[in-house]
Amino acid sequence: MKQYYWEVRRHYEKLHELIFDRGLEPLEALEKLIDEVCAEAEENPKWASLEYLDSLI
């Protein structure tokens, strides 16, 4: 649950920054954030590994 909370908070903070600090439209900000998360996941971070995700259960 802590991991989920951390991820959700991190993504909403980034959305807030993109919309309110950088002035992007909400849909544009969401698309940008999705692209950033996908690019990060392609680098095989710990949070994207199946073993790590299984360990959270």
C-alpha 40/C-alpha 52 separation (Å) is 16
Distance between alpha carbon 57 and the CA centroid of its chain, in Å? Answer: 20
Please report the pLDDT score of residue 41 as a whole number: 81
The structural domains of the chain, with segments of one domain joined by +, span 2-55
C-alpha 12/C-alpha 33 separation (Å) is 10
Please report the pLDDT score of residue 32 as a whole number: 97
Whole-prediction pTM value? 0.71
Q: What is the mean pLDDT of each run of 10 residues along the chain (57 residues)?
A: 80 96 98 93 77 77
C-alpha 52/C-alpha 37 separation (Å) is 17
